[in-house]
Structure 1
Amino acid sequence: MVQHYASLSGVNLQDTCLTIGSFDGVHMGHQQLIKELNQNAHRVGAKPVVLTFHPHPSVILRGRTGSFYLTTVPEKVKLLDELGTDIVISHPFTYELSRSTAREFVLYLMEHLGFRQLWTGYDFALGKGREGNVEYLRSLGAELNFQVHVVKPITSDGQTISSSQIRNLLMQGSVEEANKSLGRPYKVTGEVIHGDGRGKSIGIPTANLDTGNEKLIPGAGVYACRVVIMDKLWPAAVNIGTRPTFESADQRAHVEAHILDYSNDIYAQQITIEFISRLRGEQRFQGVEELISQIHNDINKTRELITG
């Protein structure tokens, strides 16, 4: 079981192998890096440590806002645990931290983590102005007695896998391509809340999700998905969008899941949607009958894709 710390404060370790990064999404590239870190650490009798940050550095450095995270902190810790990591530290990223020089930050990490190996991606850099690139860190390692190991990037369809690439794919609705880079289906968890009852009124009830304000929601459209309810999987046709067929002043993107062959009351429960395939983009229909006909087509396609 992984040990998770909410900051470096009070953490004092020795003989560790360390990697540092946001690791948003824990995608295939991250997984390769962390697998190599863990294998090598266990081989030399050291503890593998993953130092990650929350909020994402771009929130502090560039004022980034909106729902863009591929993984929440608990999701990230769970994924890192599944990869065999011993210790995860989700250190708060602050403006003060961003002003640290590379040398200051490395000395701070050595004080708390006592690392003897630093494992990085090919484009890694730390410290003010990203001055602590791989070349700089190797020079500093020779002085401070730690080794730097660089892991080659992983590609998918000729492109280097990155969190930014996956975000772009998801915003385009390209969930199948995003899933290849993640190595698993993209997931969104939320609480089932009361909607306006339109689905139920046309005989196709939906679970409306409150997904919070952090997690990235795929682009508008209809998706074939699996829904996790009480640890059991159910096929679901999921609509994301503003319901353009109905006149409404509410232009927020809604996440609505029609769960196939399921009729239990799940209001106020947490459920997780696993996105498998995009069926179509968001459409405006001439009337409710046309909409109902298309939804039944979506349900049939979902059943074929998810249950075979």
Structure 2
Amino acid sequence: MIQTTTRVEQLSHVTERIPTFVAVGSFDGVHLGHQAVLQEMISEAKKAGARTAVLTFFPHPKRVIQQMTEPYYLGTLDQRVALLAKLGIDLIITHPFNEQVRQTRAATFVDELCRYLDMRQMWGGNFALGYNREGNIPFLRKLGEARGYTVQQVDTMVLWQGERVSSSRIRRSLLERDLVEVNGCLGRPYCVSGTVIGGKKMGRTIGFPTANVDFWDEQLLPAQGVYATYARLGEERHLAATNVGVRPTVNGSAVTVEAHLLDFDVEIYGRTLHLEFINRIRPEKKFDGLDALKTQIAADVAQVRQLLASD
């Protein structure tokens, strides 16, 4: 039987009230730690014949509470939903986080989970919910005695290279140019997606045409530089040399993400391109002219082939 996932945009949009095991949180990145909690919940729900659900907040609570404006996310909301669905979650609720939700008392929020989902178990790690994070584990467990649910706090601490996996660690590693650590904590390559849009076509004039990706400006990009990447177009996957930066040789200023797909010469404007970042080749730098840039890109392409040849 093929597993299908239902997605709704807020809790009150859930139409079927059946016994449900639910995990509540932001799940930004859906990293190895998140995966461990959710896989254990799925296993236990199957034994109990219960539905599995994830209630994930968007925007991230920190962006509302701390009024953050700089890039922060480890992927788009659609990417998050797709990753959760791939794990086998039955119901995904992309609940809005706003001032009203921020002010909601924990008991009220729990009552809504019980009302719309028939929540039987709440899953998570070291989490809290509700106004001022009053809904900590002891609070939620005591409330569960009256509301008919239990709280399953997963104590499994997922480590990578001896350190706990977390979204904040991944963000730090991105800024520190450590893609090996980023991908290790995620359990997959870091991905930046977007529609291919028109650019200045400078790459084509020097023999290395690039796809200019209209990325989401709230996502945290890898540090500026040139990367060995995989470029996915639907079911196709191509090797690519991808530049993240301002293109100083041609006096650029705004940050762009441009990928040169190797051995590929097809018009792809308007299509969605997914770039999977495997390794950083070098920092971005300004060259003396286009000839020097062309020589360097040729060397970059050769290095991409070498790095990704075994895959």
CA contact (8 A) 2:76 2:216 kept: no
CA contact (8 A) 1:50 1:85 kept: yes
CA contact (8 A) 2:28 2:167 kept: yes
Give 2:5's aligned residue: 2
Alignment of 1:55-134 (within 5 A): 55-121=59-125, 123-134=126-137
- Structure 2 Cα separation of the partners of residues 83 and 295 of structure 1: 38
- Structure 1 Cα separation of the partners of residues 244 and 159 of structure 2: 29
Could you state the TM-score of these two structures normalised by the residue count of structure 1? 0.94
- Structure 2 Cα separation of the partners of residues 45 and 51 of structure 1: 19
Cα shift at 1:224: 0.1
CA contact (8 A) 2:64 2:99 kept: yes
2:232 counterpart of 1:235:
no
The CA deviation string for residues 145-166 of structure 1, in whole angstroms up to 9 with x for no partner, is 2111111221212222111211
- Structure 1 Cα separation of the partners of residues 106 and 273 of structure 2: 42
Give 1:171's aligned residue: 175
- Structure 1 Cα separation of the partners of residues 74 and 51 of structure 2: 27
Aligned AA (1:251): S
**What secondary structure, in the 3-state scheme, does the structure 2 residue paired with 1:64 have?**
coil
Cα shift at 1:142: 2.4
Between 274-283 and 9-18, the greater mean CA deviation after superposition: 9-18
Give 1:142's aligned residue: 145
Pair 155,39 (structure 1): closer, same or farther in 2 beyond 3 Å: same
Cα shift at 1:204: 1.5
Aligned AA (1:291): L
CA contact (8 A) 1:173 1:221 kept: no
The CA deviation string for residues 208-256 of structure 1, in whole angstroms up to 9 with x for no partner, is 111133332211000000101231110000001111223x3x4111111
The CA deviation string for residues 104-141 of structure 1, in whole angstroms up to 9 with x for no partner, is 211121111111111111x2011111111112222222
**What secondary structure, in the 3-state scheme, does the structure 2 residue paired with 1:277 have?**
strand
- Structure 2 Cα separation of the partners of residues 215 and 39 of structure 1: 32
The CA deviation string for residues 53-73 of structure 1, in whole angstroms up to 9 with x for no partner, is 111112221112233222222
Give 2:41's aligned residue: 37
- Structure 2 Cα separation of the partners of residues 189 and 242 of structure 1: 18
Pair 222,162 (structure 1): closer, same or farther in 2 beyond 3 Å: same
Give 1:305's aligned residue: 307
Give 1:283's aligned residue: 285
- Structure 1 Cα separation of the partners of residues 274 and 182 of structure 2: 17
Aligned length in residues:
305
Aligned AA (1:266): I
**What secondary structure, in the 3-state scheme, does the structure 1 residue paired with 2:308 have?**
helix
- Structure 2 Cα separation of the partners of residues 24 and 259 of structure 1: 28
- Structure 1 Cα separation of the partners of residues 42 and 77 of structure 2: 20
- Structure 2 Cα separation of the partners of residues 61 and 13 of structure 1: 31
CA contact (8 A) 1:17 1:47 kept: yes
- Structure 1 Cα separation of the partners of residues 18 and 233 of structure 2: 42
- Structure 2 Cα separation of the partners of residues 6 and 292 of structure 1: 47
Cα shift at 1:3: 0.8
Percent of paired sites with the same residue? 41
Structure 1: stretches of 5+ with no match in the other structure:
none
CA contact (8 A) 2:73 2:220 kept: yes
- Structure 1 Cα separation of the partners of residues 119 and 281 of structure 2: 48
The CA deviation string for residues 9-49 of structure 1, in whole angstroms up to 9 with x for no partner, is 23252311111001111110010000011110110111111
CA contact (8 A) 1:187 1:275 kept: yes
Cα shift at 1:81: 1.3
The CA deviation string for residues 189-224 of structure 1, in whole angstroms up to 9 with x for no partner, is 111112112211222211111113333221100000
Between 216-225 and 290-299, the greater mean CA deviation after superposition: 290-299
The CA deviation string for residues 141-188 of structure 1, in whole angstroms up to 9 with x for no partner, is 223221111112212122221112112222333222111111111111
Aligned AA (2:301): I
The CA deviation string for residues 285-307 of structure 1, in whole angstroms up to 9 with x for no partner, is 23333322221111101011122
